Amino acid sequence: MATPFRKILKTKDFVVTAEAAPVKGSNVSKAIEHIELLKDKVDGLNVTDNQSSVMRYPSLGVCLLVKEHGGEPVLQVTCRDRNRLAIQADLLFAYSRGVDNVLCLTGDSIDVGDHKEAKQVFDLDSVQLIHLIHTLNSGQDMAGNELDGNIDFCIGTTATPSADPLEPQLIKVEKKLAAGVEFIQTQAVYELDELKRFVEFVRKIDDKVKILGGIVPVIGAKMAAYMNDNVPGVFIPQHLIDELAQTPKGTGVAKGIEIAARMIRQMREEKICDGVHIMFIGREEKVPDILEAAGLL
Amino acid sequence: MNNCIVAFCCEHSAYPAADLAGKLKLHYPENLRIIRVPCAGRVDLIHILKAFEKGAAAVMVMGCEGGACHHMTGNTRAKERVKYCNLLLREIEADGRLVAMFNLSPNAPHKFVGAVNEITKRIKESGR
Amino acid sequence: MIIAERKPMDEIKRMLAPYKKVLVAGCGTCVTVCWAGGEKEVAILASQLRLARSAEHNEISIFEASVERQCEREMVAEIKDKVTEVEAVISLACGAGVQTMSEMFEDKPVFPGVNTTFIGMPEKEGLWVEMCGACGDCFLDRTGGICPIVRCAKGLLNGPCGGTRKGGKCEIDPDKDCAWVLIYRRLEKQGRLDLMRNYYAPKNYRAVKRPGRIQAAKA
């Protein structure tokens, strides 16, 4: 049985989480492979919610598998595909099955995904979602009805420290902190100074929230350029793209892991933040390599 | 009117050029119908389309060169309209090249004739 | 005003394929201003259709008529005689106009010749941008006059999202501004950023229960 995430956040010096994206289809064998590979190496395993607006096996489904296999899941909930009724209903189900850590996100737009003609819901935004979960935690639904059964989610959210312009993003972070979150997993950071400044900003407002810096390894200059143009919230600086362009053919993955591990070491040694959130989508099997290179195993 | 070429000729440029071509007995197709306009910019989309409706094989819009338009931007507006007209024709699977803009000066009778010959060539190429 | 865009030609031709006598009906208000369905556009479409059908050796008789506002029964009645003469009508008015015509001439097929797209304004000549989502619960007092429902691609009330592109452009389109960055800049200019710091509760999406219906109080 895994240690509850909330407890880890309170007691561990450097928290480590990773991400697993569900696959397309009803065949969960790959998801189970990744769960088995990572569950004991990380403190929490995030499961994405129709990530990049690509339809996949539901986050909640894989979270249940994580629990079944003895891991600690973090349920990612976006606002893109479900209205307030569906979100509340899903959360009731999640809690009843022991999935009690939630990451609140707005969600990528439909246009970046593979069902480009679908209706975007966005009945709620991420800030409203945080408030909603607090309401559930207090024993009521959004309409003020009493709920039968105790609910106590550990609530987290995202932030984008490298946003440009940054000020509007920070105002939103303020609102999220005011609503009350126990952890923040940031979008990918590539400049630790930006992360430092972000953490300082948050600390002035809330000294208890745990901040996990997001790491998305980049394995090639082309991939980096692609991500800059196509992945929302990602800003890879030119000097990193140049470093990647220098790497000999076939060593891109190793280089990406090296850079990621280097950053994680620095984050930990300089106590820049409270932990790391590793997102290596499509290459979950390489995450242990990063953890090892970063000295976290 | 069938299968003629309609040429909207600006009175400051193409019309005198056409006149000069006539005086010099330069040869150009008999089926050319010249319509004198105060400026190429006076020609609107519907005039061009109506010309085709009435059976024209092609339509020319002829105006002053570059910055020589007596009405400042008449020739540039005409150019944009002709471009849009190409689109309107392509939309109905007609040959967009059968409407074209030409710019010339009033003392360019050979250029005038050259333009008419160019359009005649396009009519042949479009199979009409 | 309402912005519309003429439908693709192949759609229009498909709709009119079975008919030999058709009226193209324009409107003198919104669709005239946005160059989609005014008198000029009626004349151009009519001409294109005659040329196209003639080239297909399937001649069509096209009549043209415009009214000041196609969403007013009184005004539509003015072209009643023209409608009775034809087999079908293609209206270049917005959806409200098309439906008013359909209602008034129930025995005639009335087709939409434009796609009605949004409520907006000309940003510059020939470029129309969406401004209002007709949500029935106007939020503009809280966002410095910039609508987050339609100008934010996700309709967020507590924006921006984390996907804003460099320089404050929208996640979905690098040519579009992030509405929340615009809101931030506008409120900052006015010294009212406190409005952006407020938490806004989930929107009442049932402010207008479609189909909308408003009864004015009698004078």
Q: If you search the block for the tokens 């407020």, which residue do you land on?
A: C198
CA distance A156 to A170: 16
Question: Is residue A167 less than 8 Å (CB to CB) from chain C?
Answer: yes
Is residue C219 scored above 90 in pLDDT? no
Residues near A228 by Cβ (< 8 Å), separated by ≥ 6? A234, A235, A236
- Do the Cβ atoms of C162 and A174 come within 8 Å? no
**B53: which chain C residues are within 8 Å (Cβ-Cβ)?**
47, 50-51
Domain formed by C2-117, architecture: 3-Layer(aba) Sandwich (3.40)
Domain, as residue range, for B73:
40-123
d(CA C94, CA C122): 17
Tell me how far CA of residue A222 lies from CA of A87, A112, A144, A244, A245, in angstroms.
Answer: 37, 19, 51, 9, 8
Residues in Cβ contact with C41 at an 8 Å cutoff, skipping those fewer than 6 apart: C6, C26, C31, C32, C35, C92
Percent of chain C exceeding pLDDT 70 equals 100
Three-state DSSP class for residue A213:
strand
Residue with tokens 């598998």: A65
- Work out whether strand C21-27 and strand C2-6 pair parallel, antiparallel, or are unpaired: unpaired
Whether the CB of C172 is below 8 Å from some CB of chain A: the reply is yes
Best CA proximity match to C79, nearest among C106, C50, C99, C105: C105
Provide the 3-class DSSP secondary structure of residue B32. strand
Of C154, C167, C202, the CB nearest to A106: C154
Q: Please give the model's pTM, rounded to 2 decimal places.
A: 0.93
Interface contact C9-B49, CB threshold 8 A: no
**Model confidence over A32-79: pLDDT tens digits?**
999 999 999 999 999 999 999 999 999 999 999 999 999 999 999 999
The helix/strand/coil state of C26 is strand
Query: Is B32 inside any structural domain?
Result: no
Q: Which residue of A has its CA nearest to C149?
A: A122
The amino acid at A34: H
- Give the closest of C43, C50, C51 to B46, CB-based: C43
Reduced 3-state DSSP string for A15-84: EEEEEECCCCCCCCHHHHHHHHHHCCCCCEEEECCCHHHCCCCCHHHHHHHHHHCCCCEEEEECCCCCCH
Spatial separation of the C-alpha atoms in residues A109 and C174, rounded to whole Å: 13
pLDDT in tens, C32-88: 999 999 999 999 999 999 999 999 999 999 999 999 999 999 999 999 999 999 999
Domains and CATH numbers, chain A: 5-293 (3.20.20.220)
What would the pLDDT profile of C144-200 be if each residue is shown by its tens digit?
Answer: 999 999 999 999 999 899 999 989 999 999 999 999 999 999 999 999 999 999 999
Using a CB-CB cut-off of 8 Å, the residues of chain B touching C9 are 91-92
Cα–Cα distances in Å, from B8 out to B59, B73, C210? 8, 17, 53
Q: Is B87 on the interface with C (CB under 8 A)?
A: no
> Could you tell me if A275 and A212 are in contact, meaning their C-beta atoms sit under 8 angstroms apart?
yes
C-beta atoms of B91 and C48 within 8 A: yes
> In 3-state terms, what secondary structure has residue B94?
coil
Identify the closest residue of chain A to C161 by CA–CA distance. Answer: A106
- Cα distances (angstroms) measured from residue A99 to each of A155, A249, B79: 12, 42, 66
- For residue C160, cis peptide bond before it (omega within 30 degrees of 0): yes
Distance from CA of A162 to the nearest CA of C (A): 9
How many residues does this entry show for chain B?
128
pLDDT tens for each residue of B45-94 = 999 999 999 999 999 999 999 899 999 999 999 999 999 999 999 999 99
- What are the sequence ranges of the domains in chain C? 2-117, 133-197
- Which one, of B104, B107, B117, lies nearest residue B5 by Cα? B117
Please count the other Cβ atoms lying within 10 Å of the Cβ belonging to residue A270: 10
Q: Which residue is associated with the tokens 């948050």?
A: A202
- Please check the confidence at residue A23 and state whether its pLDDT lies above 70: yes
Task: Name chain B contacts of C47, Cβ cutoff 8 Å.
Answer: 46, 49-50, 52-53
Question: How many CB atoms within 10 Å of residue C122?
Answer: 14
Three-class secondary structure assignment of A159-193: ECCCCCCCHHHHHHHHHHHHHCCCEEEEEECCCHH
The reported pLDDT for the residue numbered A168 is 97
Contacts with C, B 48-67, CB within 8 Å: 49-50, 52-53
Q: Do A120 and C196 touch (CB under 8 A)?
A: no
Interface residue C17 vs chain B (CB under 8 A): no
Mean pLDDT of the A255-273 span: 96
User: How far apart, in Å, do the first and last CA atoms of chain C sit?
Assistant: 27
Contact by Cβ (8 Å): A146, A138: no
Instruction: Check: CB of residue A29 under 8 Å from CB of residue A168.
Output: no
Provide the residue type at A20 as one letter: A
Could you give the number of structural domains in chain B? 1
Judged by a CB distance cut-off of 8 A, whether residue A128 touches chain C is yes
Residue B94 lies in a domain: yes
Asked if the structure places residue B2 within a domain, the reply is: no
* Average of per-residue pLDDT values in chain A: 95
Inter-chain residue contact C158 with A111, CB threshold 8 Å = no
Please write the tens of the pLDDT for every residue from A104-150: 999 999 999 999 999 999 999 999 999 999 999 999 999 999 999 99
In a domain, B15, yes or no: no
ipTM for the predicted complex comes to 0.93
The 3-state DSSP class for residue C92 equals coil
Do C23 and C46 touch, CB atoms closer than 8 A? no
Is B105 domain-assigned? yes
- pLDDT band, residue B1 (cuts 50/70/90): low
Q: What angle, rounded to 10 degrees, do the helices at A84-96 and A59-68 form? A: 10
CA dist A168 and C149 (Å) reads 17
- Bridge partners (DSSP) of residue B10 are B37
